Amino acid sequence: MTSYPQNTAAIIDPVKLDRLAEVAIKVGLRLQPGQDLLLTAPVVALPLVRRIARHAYEAGAGLVTPILSDEEITLSRFRLAGDVSFDRAPAWLYEGMAKAFSANTARLAVVGDNPMLLSGEDPAKVSRANKANSVAYQPALEKIAGFDINWNIVAYPGASWARQVFPDDEESVAVAKLADAIFSASRVDGEDPISAWAAHNAALHRRTEWLNGERFQALHFTGPGTDLTVGLADGHQWQGGASTANNGIVCNPNIPTEEVFTTPHALRVDGYVASTKPLSYQGTLIDQIAVRFEAGRIVEARAARGEEVLNKVLDTDEGARRLGEVALVPHSSPISKSGILFFNTLFDENASCHVALGQCYSKCFVGGDKLQPGEITAQGGNKSLIHIDWMIGSNAIDIDGIRADGSRVPVFRQGEWA
């Protein structure tokens, strides 16, 4: 059972929390005067949500609509709801979200609940509920994945999440530590976070410009348990830091972010690869993943822990066995240096080079906003209901870029930019 949270919010520095809210609105979203905002968050994150709403209205927001979730209500479903509940999802809500996005509403998600909340529940129910939700969410997800509007994710140090990350500490200490880690990774622990983000975005853009100039055909990863050639999609484009949504607004979808990333070719991935960090997937920890690819498709998948869940995920649809993203993050990134396993992709993916199974991002193509789904497929973009990042980087990984003429350029050596 989750105990009712004590007043751990008092431990969280209100100045830094306010800066995080300001960064979410001014950097993460660049919310425009008159623009509406749809905000989803756990109830524990209300201290942040209220500050976000205030900064949104100060920036001229039209209408801020919050939708809140709660751990105890979620657990009640898994423990008490009838069997039919687990094939259902609020399609009407997601259709409404898709409609709002079509009308240029911005989207902000606050994460803060324990990512392992469902770890003690029936895995079959969890997997059915996830699948039903993915199917229903598709109309809204398409507009997010297609980058039709400015969107952003930020994190709040909820007490149950903090206890998961720091199990040996008292709750108040755990919350303080998670708050520090979130504030530092989100670059709001200095006096001028807006300038800090401008400098960080400029550094990430220097990397993407170099990679886009090189136009590599493939990346070759080598390291312990890994010898993987990731072909890149035709007309792929590297992205990182701030980028321009189809509605013309330059925003930072993820806070924090350390990655530069692009689209692999769904049919041109070969070799084997081992994960370097555990993957927390909707309540299950999947650890020591080892997979083999042939012509882009995973033909063999093992995991020391969570193998059954991994195989269920791979069976979601045909695209679930193929890659939709490859991302480069140096081993010396601040989140990696913190050594913390957050059990949350928003943070953990920024600690390591990673690949994602499933759906690709159309913005990772040159002129991607104008490409039709059929053209994206023809250029090698993958399609799936899922998009799951897992970590393959470490201080032992080397990466070569392979040019069209077969020549090689060092990209990473021992986990760092070459």
Tell me which residues touch Zn ion (CB under 5 A).
259, 261, 325, 327, 349, 356, 389
Considering the complex, state which of residue 148 and residue 349 has its C-beta at the smaller distance from Zn ion: 349
Give the number of other Cβ atoms within 10 Å of residue 43's Cβ.
16
Considering the complex, state which of residue 166 and residue 343 has its C-beta at the smaller distance from Zn ion: 343
Considering the complex, state which of residue 8 and residue 152 has its C-beta at the smaller distance from Zn ion: 152
Considering the complex, state which of residue 29 and residue 391 has its C-beta at the smaller distance from Zn ion: 391
Considering the complex, state which of residue 26 and residue 322 has its C-beta at the smaller distance from Zn ion: 322
Q: Which two tokens stand for residue 221?
A: 């990863």
Measured CA to CA in angstroms, residue 270 lies from 234, 238, 267, 297, 381 at distances of 17, 21, 9, 8, 16
Closest by CA to 260, choosing from 325, 198, 204, is: 204
Considering the complex, state which of residue 266 and residue 356 has its C-beta at the smaller distance from Zn ion: 356
Please state the closest distance from residue 388 (CB atom) to Zn ion, in A. 8
Please state the closest distance from residue 327 (CB atom) to Zn ion, in A. 4
Three-state secondary structure along the chain?
A: CCCCCCCHHHHCCHHHHHHHHHHHHHHHHCCCCCCCEEEEEEHHHHHHHHHHHHHHHHCCCCCEEEEEECHHHHHHHHHHCCHHHHHCCCHHHHHHHHHHHHCCCEEEEEECCCCCHHHHCCHHHHHHHHHHHHHHHHHHHHHHHCCCCCEEEEECCCHHHHHHHCCCCCHHHHHHHHHHHHHHHCCCCCCCHHHHHHHHHHHHHHHHHHHHHHCCCEEEEEECCEEEEEEECCCECCEECCEECCCCCEECCECCCCCEEECEEEEEEEEEEECCCCEEECCEEEEEEEEEEECCEEEEEEEEECHHHHHHHHCCCHHHHCEEEEEECCCCCHHHHHCCCCCCHHHHHHHCCEEEEECCCHHHECCHHHCCHHHHHHCCCCCCCCEEEEECCCCCCEEEEECCCCCEEEEEECCEEC
Considering the complex, state which of residue 86 and residue 293 has its C-beta at the smaller distance from Zn ion: 293
Please state the closest distance from residue 254 (CB atom) to Zn ion, in A. 8
Please state the closest distance from residue 154 (CB atom) to Zn ion, in A. 16
Please state the closest distance from residue 387 (CB atom) to Zn ion, in A. 6
Considering the complex, state which of residue 104 and residue 333 has its C-beta at the smaller distance from Zn ion: 333
Q: Which two tokens stand for residue 56?
A: 């949104």
Considering the complex, state which of residue 86 and residue 361 has its C-beta at the smaller distance from Zn ion: 361
Please state the closest distance from residue 360 (CB atom) to Zn ion, in A. 10
Please state the closest distance from residue 281 (CB atom) to Zn ion, in A. 13
Please state the closest distance from residue 73 (CB atom) to Zn ion, in A. 28
Please state the closest distance from residue 325 (CB atom) to Zn ion, in A. 5
Closest by CA to 30, choosing from 258, 191, 245, is: 245
Measured CA to CA in angstroms, residue 350 lies from 10, 228, 320, 346, 357 at distances of 28, 20, 22, 7, 16
Please state the closest distance from residue 176 (CB atom) to Zn ion, in A. 28
Considering the complex, state which of residue 156 and residue 261 has its C-beta at the smaller distance from Zn ion: 261
C-beta of residue 320 within 8 angstroms of C-beta of residue 385: yes
Considering the complex, state which of residue 71 and residue 259 has its C-beta at the smaller distance from Zn ion: 259
Please state the closest distance from residue 341 (CB atom) to Zn ion, in A. 17
